[in-house]
Structure 1
Amino acid sequence: MAVAPSRRVRRGVGVGVGGATAIVGTRHSPFPPRCHDAAAAAASGDGGGGDNGLLGSLAAASTAVGAHLAARQTEADRSAVALVALVARRAAAGVAGVAGGGAAARRQQRVVASSARGSGGGGGGGGGRCTADGTAEAAALLGALIGHLVPPAYAKNVDLPAPPRRGHRPSTSPSVDAERLLRSSPDLPVRYPPAERIVAVGDVHGDADALRRALRSAAVLGPRDEWVGGKAVLVQVGDQLDRGPQERDILDLLFKLQDEAPRSGGAVHVLLGNHELMNVEMDFRYVTMAGFGDFRRRTGELSPSAGRRPTPHPQSVWAKSIRAMPAYMRPRAMALRPGGATTTRLAGRTQIAVIVGDTVFVHGGLRPSHLGAGGGKGVPVGEAALAAMNRGCREWLLGVAEKPAVLRGGSSPVWSRHYSRVGLKSDSPECSSLGQSLKLLNVKRMVVGHTPQMAGISGACDGRVWRIDTGMAKAYGGMTEALEIERSGKSFFLQCLA
């Protein structure tokens, strides 16, 4: 979410929030003047709301919209509420950022609160009344902040557009882009119903030809790259990127099948692996020269008019990083940065983990700690933890939030190799941990990639985990295999003998 700096001060009030700037309009306030004073007092902690004041009201607003989001209304409602929840969290963080800073900070908070008088909406204070704790005024402020608040300085992943040209009238609705992105990629379900036939394919690393071989051996891909799998469900467990030259072809094929499969009752789920996340963080260690060159082709999502994605603001960390790169690397970096064109596609079509029937799929592995075990009161557990993980990753990909903590580090769900070790015994600590994870998710088995099984697909822990990364990409030279799981739970290895 971003806003272009305004040079026409008379059009609004410049408001400092956590080191950022908001432009607030000057429309008529829905509250009488005394309510503005209540809002200012609440913001500064001098009255009504006590020490928390406006911050508490914003936190309550965030909680309320979060509860509404959890109720899962219509798709449009969920998207809109997701945006409001995000802004409420950012607003609370911004107010917290200036709290306790002495008289200057209190004056700044009063300015933030008084900007609510220009919000022109927000509800909650109808009838010309104001509330002692500033709640209605906080609602008005929240209305002003939606579409006008620049994320706090700590949100380093957010790119701001370049300053407006002389004579160019700046937009007063900078949240349109963020709202469009969130609406275009609503939360995908975590759990899907059982399927008569599930086909799972492992890491493909820039080798679209290997992916086609695997899908044709599984009888879900036709000679013209069309879906022929009927009601089958296909899951690709991540690592589409790096090590090979056909990365965009892989994404195009998977997303094409994702659109076609539902027409015949099937489905395609695409997961994110550690290499996709590495690219979003500008870690290009495993990119080939052809992989860099592939992103110079202005086709599909990289056409000049596709989405009209803004370039990073000159002062953003992404702008500095990309500017320091060699010229041949920049197109890829622009496409895969948070909020970039390709990353936005991923945000709307991929997940970290998904459950189909009684099987959970993830790139590396899900540990009990990833699923909220031992996290204390209020921490999402099991399926709810997966949903939060997927949602947090989506917001990060869109460039409106930081990378979720659960996805950081070498033991995250996309990096873990705990269940892929050679010679894993059924009574090992790893198999015990696997059992806890399966119980938390109420499933019978886990399917993972990430760790090449050069002898082919393998199982461990009494068939409760299947490792399906066979190193089929040309970079590894492994065999091309896919895993088939019937509704009864019986599994088959589908090997391409060509």
Structure 2
Amino acid sequence: MLVGINMRHLLISAVLVCASGIISADTLDDGPYVFTSLPNWQALWVCAGEAKARTLPEVKSAVTIEECGLQAQLQPQAAKRPVLEYPQPSKLAAISDIHGQFELFKTLLTAHGIMDKQGNWQFGQGHLVITGDIFDRGPRQTEALWLIYQLQHQALEAGGKLHFLLGNHEMMVLNGDLRYLNEKYEKIATLLNRPFPALYGEDTVLGQWLRSRNVLVKVGELLFLHGGLHPDLAKEGRTLAEINQVFSGQLIEDKDHPREGFTRYLHKTNGPIWYRGYFRFPQASNEDIDALRSHFGVNSIVVGHTTQEHVSSFYDGKIIAIDSGIKNGENGEMLLIENGKRYRGLLDGSRVSL
């Protein structure tokens, strides 16, 4: 028996028009969404337009679950908030703004030796940084999230690291702002008889994991985040730890207790997931960028959010932009750094010096 799902939704046969084309409801696949607050964990899928549920035994070790070709590797331990600073690895890769374009994401990771064709970590002790925006626009965000979740654990076992940072679209979905949600997921929420944000609630594996992610990370002399740090943060003497802690302190806005003060500032236009001032008016000056670098003790700041045609360098390499337009579903790149040299990693596996 499928818990909490209105069976009338299983009869939906309308045609769904989404960003990737026309999808018949009876070919609609998605999931799993894994809920942890029931007496036993429960996983929900949609397979060929039909909602499916499975009760899971206690997860005592890593276990893979699968229905209709959609799988997830579950971990027994609860997600923990990562530390904010790491030494410089010999090799590093960074990518941003996947926006549901799972195939392009997989192609880039495989082409550049981050993972093998089966989706397993193969980057050794290297670091992969993903600066947010897995959600919205494209049709396969669920698969991308579970792949990142799995690779993160595999990287740790290999002595490497995967850093997944929050972007503005993660925050939008968690807070119920679904303006950019692919229409496929409206259908999925209807079939599972739950509001879409509830599929990433505090009682879900991915929801708990997302709530424990940071908004920035410092790796060696590089600072990574989704949008950018406003120059005022350096002038005010704010620390990375303070910014991350205050931002994370109220990820979900409580209507009865709205964000105020510095918390509100960090979640608005000039905050770390929204700021575009390295590229657009009013644009930060060279002096502003140098003040940020000096204050936070980094050589360069790496950001996504503001789309470029390619992975690009600004301010004489002090700012690196890695949102390469993957969201359009046609092309994409990633940043590669080995032994201090920076490259654009292309879809065919080739590199171009940055």
TM-superposed deviation, 1:451: 1.2
Return the offset for 1:431. Answer: 3.1
Give the C-alpha shift of residue 230 in structure 1. Answer: 0.8
In our comparison, the structure showing a higher alpha carbon Rg is: 1
Name the CA distance, whole Å, in 2 between partners of 1:399 and 1:340: 20
Question: Contact 1:190–1:386 (CA<8 Å) still a contact in 2?
Answer: no
Give 1:420 shift: 2.9
Q: Provide the secondary structure at the position in 1 that maps to 2:184.
A: helix
Map of 2:44 onto structure 1: none
Post-superposition CA distance 1:81-139 (Å, at most 9, x none): xxxxxxxxxxxxxxxxxxxxxxxxxxxxxxxxxxxxxxxxxxxxxxxxxxxxxxxxxxx
Residue 392 of structure 1 pairs with residue 249 of structure 2? yes
Residue 113 of structure 2 corresponds to 219
- 1:308 is matched with none
Q: Is residue 248 of structure 1 aligned with residue 103 of structure 2?
A: no
Once residues 123 and 289 of structure 2 are traced to their aligned partners in structure 1, the CA distance between those partners, rounded to angstroms, is 31
After superposition, the Cα gap between the structure-2 partners of 1:387 and 1:450, relative to the gap in structure 1 and judged at 3 Å, is closer
1 or 2 for the larger relative contact order (CA 8 Å, sep ≥6)?
2
Aligned to 1:430: 285
**CA drift at 1:216:** 1.3
Distance 1:407-1:295 versus aligned 2 partners, 3 A rule? farther
Look up the match of 1:461.
315
Once residues 95 and 141 of structure 2 are traced to their aligned partners in structure 1, the CA distance between those partners, rounded to angstroms, is: 16
Amino acid at match of 2:207: T
1:279 equivalenced with 2:279 (yes/no): no
Partner residue of 1:332? 196
Equivalent residue number for residue 410 of structure 1: 269
Alignment partner of 1:290 is 2:177: no
Q: Which amino acid aligns with 1:432?
A: E
Q: TM-score, normalised by structure 2?
A: 0.69
Counterparts of 2:158 and 2:80 in 1: how far apart (Å)?
23
Shift of the 244–431 alpha-carbon distance from structure 1 to 2, 3 Å rule, reads same
Residue deviations 1:410-440 (CA, integer Å, cap 9, x gap)? 2211111111349x9xxx7433222222212
Q: Which residue of 2 aligns with 1:345?
A: 209
- In structure 2, the CA distance between the partners of 1:195 and 1:263, relative to structure 1 (3 Å rule), is same
Whether 1:496 aligns to 2:351 is: no
Q: Give the root-mean-square deviation of aligned CA atoms.
A: 2.9
For residues 290 and 187 of structure 1, do their structure 2 counterparts lie closer, same or farther at Cα, with a shift above 3 Å needed? same
CA-to-aligned-CA distance 1:135-172 (integer Å, 9 cap, x gap) = xxxxxxxxxxxxxxxxxxxxxxxxxx9xxxxxxxxxxx
Structure 2 counterparts to residues 144-155 of structure 1, below 5 A: none
Cα displacement string for residues 251-294 of structure 1 (whole angstroms, at most 9, x for unaligned residues)? 10001000001121111000111111111221101111212334
Tell me how many residue pairs correspond in the alignment: 270
Measure the CA separation in 1 of the matches of 2:265 and 2:276. 15
Which residue, out of 327, 331, 340, partners 1:479? 331
Q: 1:392: Cα distance to partner?
A: 1.9
What is the CA distance between 1:234 and its match in structure 2?
Answer: 0.2
Equivalent-residue separation in structure 2 for 1:450 and 1:191 (angstroms): 22
SS of structure 1 residue aligned to 2:104: helix
* TM-superposed deviation, 1:391: 4.0
- Equivalent positions of 1:48-59 (< 5 A) are none
Give the alignment of 1:42-121 within 5 angstroms: none
Letter paired with 2:332 = T
Question: 1:216-262: per-residue Cα shift (whole Å, max 9, x none)?
Answer: 12211101000011111000110000001111111100010000011
Secondary structure of 1:268 counterpart = strand
Distance 1:255 1:432, change over 3 A: same
Q: Which amino acid aligns with 2:236?
A: G
Decide whether aligned partners of structure 1 residues 276 and 430 sit closer, same or farther in structure 2, where only a CA change above 3 A counts: farther
> 2:144, 2:319 → 1: CA distance?
26
| Structure 2 unaligned residues grouped into runs of 5+ | 1-36, 38-76, 350-354
| Equivalence for 1:51 | none
1:194 to 60, 64, 88: 88
Change (3 A) 1:223 1:451: same
Distance 1:295 1:237, change over 3 A: farther
Whether the 8 Å contact between 1:340 and 1:398 is mirrored in structure 2 is: no
1:402 Cα deviation after fit: 5.9
Q: d(CA) in 2 for partners of 1:229 and 1:390?
A: 31
Looking at structure 1, the residues matched to 139 and 274 of structure 2 have their Cα atoms a distance apart, in angstroms, of 23
Which one has a larger percent strand, Structure 1 or Structure 2? 2
After TM superposition, list the pairs within 5 Å mapping 1:10-21 onto structure 2.
Answer: none
* Closer, same or farther: CA 287–264 of 1 in aligned 2, 3 Å: same
Gaps of 5+ in 1: 1-160, 162-182, 299-326, 376-380
Give me the whole-angstrom Cα distance separating, in 1, the residues matched to 2:179 and 2:248.
Answer: 27
> Partners in 1 of 2:326 and 2:154 — Cα distance?
25
More helix by share: 1
